[in-house]
Homo-oligomer: A and B are copies of this chain.
Amino acid sequence: MTSDLSVEVGGLELRGPVLAASGTFGYGTEVPLLERRALGAMVSKGIFLKPRAGTAPPRIAETPSGMLNAIGLQGPGVDGLIRDYAPKWAAWDFPVLVNINGESAAEYGELSARLDGVPGVAGFEINISCPNVEQGGMYFGNDPRAAASVTEAVRRRTKLPVWVKLTPMVSDIGIIARAVEAAGADALSAVNTFVGMSMDLNAYQPRLSFRTGGLSGPAIRPLAVHLAHQAARAVDIPVIGVGGIMRAEDALEFLVAGCRAVQVGTATFVNPNAIAEVHDGIAAFMAAKGFASLSELPRYLPRD
């Protein structure tokens, strides 16, 4: 039997539940080998209004079953994106969401307004793991009010789907999830990377020039499954699970834990065909269990 893997996620009809995570698939134009047939959607590398050079090297360090990165959101800014990438996306057979970033709620709002209506831009993923420069550098992502204000600022400027990418660096992810849902988010992506550090024993300094970096990869999977599950229990909008998915079983853990879809990040670095393999593995699992569609997959979502 063939199972139907299509899903509706936060205002978008997707042909499959496996998405490319922001910052791990570039602008989708980089690599000829990457298998696109199974891609549910792509989230672009995060951009700001203005071009950004990014941080000095070293930018990455490997850790057990994980990697730290501090890329510093290097990117062309909104004009470059509209000029160089969006026209290509417009021709593709899967939707592309733009991961948007800013230093103030107004900046997020302006960015979404600039991109609203640009052919090829199917929606937004708001990255709230950015420092709020107006409020003394506190992160938007761990203050429910700041997270909601960013979401509202974007919501007001676009009719396109708005997803919010949650940070794991919070005491209670449910509070943030509910705040951004109330502010108009159509879906949540959970989660972004965890802040980590690794020391160089020759230089007696951090390995990364930025000192700290975001931890991704299989090491964080049990933490990400838990946070995505907590978010899914807190809200009614769909949650997209992200963190350490290398193969179908890992994606299924997120789906069973209550997620509507998943994003694959670091795995693509290791295996450029990871997304297709995860998709195919989910299809094989569904077929073996006799589930005709993803809605039949049992979910573990106690509401207590």
Interface residues of A (CB under 8 A from B): 63-66, 68, 142, 169-171, 194-199, 201, 204-206, 212-213, 215, 217-223, 225-226, 229, 244, 249, 252-253, 256-257, 285, 298-300
Contact = CB atoms under 8 A, between A and B. Distances in A.
Contact of A64 (B198, B201, B204, B218): B218
B194 A256 contact: no
B198 A253 contact: yes
B300 A218 contact: no
B244 A222 contact: no
A222 B253 contact: no
B252 A197 contact: no
B300 A205 contact: yes
Given A205-B300, A212-B226, A300-B204, A256 B221 contact: no
Contacts of A68: 222
A252 to B, nearest CB: 5
A215 B222 contact: yes
6 A-B pairs with least C-beta separation: A196-B222, A64-B218, A219-B219, A65-B65, A197-B226, A64-B65
A150 B257 CA distance: 35
Nearest to A202: B289
A78 to B, nearest CB: 30
A26 B205 CA distance: 35
Contacts of A244: 64
A64 B249 CA distance: 13
A63 B222 contact: yes
A152 B174 CA distance: 31
B300 A199 contact: yes
Nearest to A253: B199
A199 B250 CA distance: 9
A223 B198 contact: no
Contacts of A215: 222-223
A197 B142 contact: no
